[in-house]
Structures are given as C-alpha cells and as structure tokens.
C-alpha cells in the first residue's frame, strides 16, 4: 500500500529518534510481527502513524520496566489488544450474560498478565536480596580488615 506523506505520518528516522530504537530494530519488530507493516510512500519508504509510535513506546516501556523478552512482549501486547477488543464488545452489549462473559475473558487475560509480572517481580526481588547480602558481606570484610589494621600513630 502506498500513500503520500502528510503531517500525521512519520518516516523511520523520525520514529527511531522519537522512540530511541534503531532503524534496524524497527524493521526487526515489523519482521517478527511485534509491529504491523507500516504503509509506504510511492518511493517505498516506511510511514508510521501516531498509533504505531504509541505502540512502540508501549513496547519500550514494557521491555524496560518488566524486562520482557521479545516473545513475552509479543504475548503481552496481544493480550492487551484482546482486552481492548473485549472492552469494545462489553461497551456495545446490553445483554448482561454477554457482559459477564466478556468480564470473564478480561479477567483471564489480566490473570495471565499478572502471572508474568509476578514472575518478573520475583526475579527482581531475588536479585535485590542477593545484592543486599553481597553488600553485607563486603561490610563484614571491611570490618574484619579494619579491626586488624595496626594502630595509627
């Protein structure tokens, strides 16, 4: 699909600068399906929408904050998109039974996401404990050394 450049579309260089990602990373995210293929100019340059940029910013946020792998990111984003669809269906339905079904679906997805977040938090907490123990060990070594230093004249 080709389109003409306008103010609401961004070239890959602009998106890279805005998100802090490299052009290579942007192409890779497209290749693995983490980002939909953008539209293109007549000259075959990629053009990204504001929604594409927002998705990339969310991907960066999740990757940074949670330390998600690309596979986990793909799953997490897919779950967020599924929740968005559920939200729309829920809002459009007046049938209480259908709304309960949608709530159950949304609950299941949020539970899956929570399991992943809890796993990442447990890893961070274990790393924190190990570092605190290391610091305590260093302090004990420091105390042992200073206790055996000769007195200063």
Confidence at residue 92, expressed as pLDDT on a 0 to 100 scale: 96
What is the phi/psi pair of residue 85, to 5°? -65, -40
Confidence at residue 2, expressed as pLDDT on a 0 to 100 scale: 43
The topology (CATH level 3) of 1-65 is: Multidrug-efflux Transporter Regulator; Chain: A; Domain 2 (1.10.1660)
Query: CA-to-CA distance for 34 and 18, rounded, in angstroms?
Result: 18
Q: Which residues of the chain have pLDDT under 70?
A: 1-7
- Domain extent listing, the chain: 1-65, 67-153
Reduce the DSSP state of residue 47 to 3 states and report it. Answer: strand
113 closest CA partner among 69, 80, 70: 80
- C-beta of residue 46 within 8 angstroms of C-beta of residue 40: yes
pTM for this entry: 0.73
Q: What are the residues facing 11 on neighbouring strands?
A: 47
């Amino acid at each position: 699909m080709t389109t003409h450049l306008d103010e609401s579309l961004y070239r890959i260089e602009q998106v890279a600068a805005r998100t802090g990602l490299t052009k290579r990373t942007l192409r890779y995210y497209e290749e693995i399906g983490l980002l939909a293929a953008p539209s293109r100019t007549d000259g075959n340059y990629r053009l990204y929408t504001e929604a594409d940029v927002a998705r990339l910013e969310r991907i960066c946020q999740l990757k940074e904050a949670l330390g998600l792998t690309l596979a986990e990111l793909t799953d997490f984003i897919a779950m967020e998109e599924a929740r968005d669809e559920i939200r729309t269906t829920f809002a459009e339905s007046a049938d209480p039974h259908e709304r309960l079904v949608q709530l159950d679906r949304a609950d299941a997805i949020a539970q899956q996401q929570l399991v992943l977040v809890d796993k990442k938090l447990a890893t961070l907490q274990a790393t924190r404990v190990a570092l605190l123990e290391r610091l305590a060990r260093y302090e004990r070594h420091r105390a042992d050394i200073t206790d055996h230093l000769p007195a200063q004249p």
